[in-house]
Chains A and B, each alone.
Chain A
Amino acid sequence: MNLSDTLQIVRLTDVGLKRDHNEDAIASDAEIGLVVLADGMGGYKAGEVASEIAVLTIVAELKEAMLELEPGQIDPVTDMQAESLLIVDAVQRANASIYHVSQDQPQCAGMGTTLVMGMFTNNKLLVGHIGDSRLYCLRDDVLTRLTEDHSLLQEQLNSGLITPEQARTSANKNLVTRALGVDPEVDLELNEFDVEVGDIYLLCSDGLTDMVDDDDIHATLKSLHTNLELAANHLIQIANDNGGADNISVILVRILKPFAAEHSWYDNVLNWLK
């Protein structure tokens, strides 16, 4: 099922004002309904290597795997769209590649990356994430964050140790508790959401969210949603106006029409019997 006419995707990345190179990597493939964003970390240029491997591996693996899969099937164990299994596989492959390179190349030792990815299929969105890159949804003028950061700060907030007010003055912003490629095994958080026509999805690195608060992101998407390129540019501009301390990446997706997998009752019965 080709989703090129169903999704409008705009992606943009910027080095920011303080760094000399961009360790974020972004990619999208409208045909298979895939968007991927990674924010690399590690000394020298290793962060760039990690995020690049992550994005390239995941896109390549999924493009190939999707050829074999008929959309609209449900995995009986997870109760999610069957594509979720392919995502888990692809992320594991990416993890293995990064980990392997980091063990092999001394200059890449300890590198890793965050990840946030979305796959649109059968009127659903599968969201996978690791670390503090985020995914937001704007629906009916309400902005909702669909991912919870895997960060020390988020854990402190969850346990009530600090208030959201205090979180703003915390020095723990950059400590993530999960990352891709730092261990032989990876812990991907995967969730499924219903998609509606007109939804706008935003994937972003912490270079945006550390610099621009949710109210300004909301205001920008609300007033510029008819022009996604402008919205993406404006988000990056606010982040830079506020200091641009880190690389800034955004991917915006608009849902133009429904994309339910076409299944006859016959297919469904067959699925039940399998």
Chain B
Amino acid sequence: MAKLIYSLNGSFLGEFTLNKDKLTIGRRPSNDIQIDNLVISGEHAVIKVIGRDAFLEDSGSTNGTFVNGKQIQQHILQHDDLIQLGKYQLRYLNDDGIPMPAMPRQKAKAEDSPPPEKSAISQAKQKPASSAGEKSGPSQTAAAVQQPAAHIKILSGSGKGKEQLLNKTVTTLGKPGMQVAVITRRAQGFFLTHVEGQSHPLVNGQAIGLQAHALHDHDVIELAGSKMEFCLA
């Protein structure tokens, strides 16, 4: 279960477990987490637990709520996030967020994580996540993988002298209906693959087969009557 480590200037003050749907933070004693300091508003922020997510929301505080140095209005807490309220700090730790080798496949029961606002979910089933480390969404994953940069220069044929940046996952070359190939961009580099047409494209004078062909800097590609050079940036 997720928890918060409460500290001031690096010294440990306490620990809170996120065992409720809603946890309030503020100066008033009515809060679940009371921080008795004038910098903190009476009702400063709230954490709502929905499923496996913990939402941190600022409750219109005077001095703001910060996560990892950035002011937020609403934020889905990620493992190891640092929440700052004035000089006070709360570190969010989530067991699920710590990558573990071969986490046992488990099934969440609906009762473990009922969404607080309704009962529409009769049977929320958790599909086993092998380890929470890879839970990052597509955008994150894409950003995390360093993608190489490259372009192609048209040497002869139509569009001679033009350059095309290879900044997409697939870039199409050639003429539809006649001969088409694609260059795919992967973490390992760039690959040329035949898509359609009677003849296969040539790389440095050699026809490539049906398999993806790894491209090297300054390779010369010929297809659909055009010659082009592959250049790594």
Name A's B-contacting residues (CB within 8 A).
18-19, 39, 41-44, 47, 110, 112, 152, 155-156, 161-162, 166-179, 182-183, 206, 209-213, 216, 219-220, 223-224, 226-227, 230, 234, 237-238, 241-243, 245-246
Q: A241 near B195 (CB under 8 angstroms)?
A: no
Closest-by-CB residue of A relative to B184 is A234
Q: B107 near A173 (CB under 8 angstroms)?
A: no
Check: B31 CB closer than 8 A to any chain A CB.
no
Check: B171 CB closer than 8 A to any chain A CB.
yes
| 7 contacts across the A-B interface (CB closer than 8 A) | A18-B131, A166-B76, A174-B128, A174-B129, A223-B182, A234-B184, A245-B135
Name B's A-contacting residues (CB within 8 A).
50-53, 55, 74, 76, 78, 94, 96-97, 105-108, 113, 115, 120-132, 134-142, 145, 168-172, 176, 180, 182, 184, 186-188, 193, 195-196
Across chains A and B, which 10 residue pairs bring their CB atoms closest together, nearest first?
A: A168-B137, A213-B138, A245-B134, A171-B52, A172-B51, A223-B172, A41-B127, A174-B127, A242-B141, A18-B130
A211 to B196, CA, bound (A): 27
A42 to B106, CA, bound (A): 7
Complex partner residue of A182 from B105, B121, B123, B131, CB under 8 angstroms: B123
Please count the residue pairs between chain A and chain B whose beta carbons lie under 8 angstroms apart in the complex: 150
Contact residues in B for A168 (Cβ distance below 8 Å) = 136-140
Q: Is the interface of A mostly helix, strand, loop or mixed?
A: loop
Contact residues in B for A234 (Cβ distance below 8 Å) = 170, 184
Contact residues in A for B186 (Cβ distance below 8 Å) = 237-238, 241
A172 to B137, CA, bound (A): 11
Q: A152 near B180 (CB under 8 angstroms)?
A: no
A246 to B128, CA, bound (A): 9
Q: A171 near B140 (CB under 8 angstroms)?
A: no
Closest-by-CB residue of A relative to B180 is A226
Complex partner residue of A245 from B108, B129, B140, B145, CB under 8 angstroms: B129
Closest-by-CB residue of B relative to A167 is B137
Q: A175 near B138 (CB under 8 angstroms)?
A: no
Contact residues in A for B53 (Cβ distance below 8 Å) = 170-172
Q: A173 near B142 (CB under 8 angstroms)?
A: no
Contact residues in B for A224 (Cβ distance below 8 Å) = 170, 182, 195
Contact residues in B for A237 (Cβ distance below 8 Å) = 184, 186
Q: A152 near B127 (CB under 8 angstroms)?
A: no
Contact residues in A for B135 (Cβ distance below 8 Å) = 171, 173, 245
Q: A177 near B130 (CB under 8 angstroms)?
A: no
Q: B50 near A19 (CB under 8 angstroms)?
A: no
Contact residues in A for B132 (Cβ distance below 8 Å) = 171
Q: A212 near B50 (CB under 8 angstroms)?
A: no
Q: B123 near A169 (CB under 8 angstroms)?
A: no
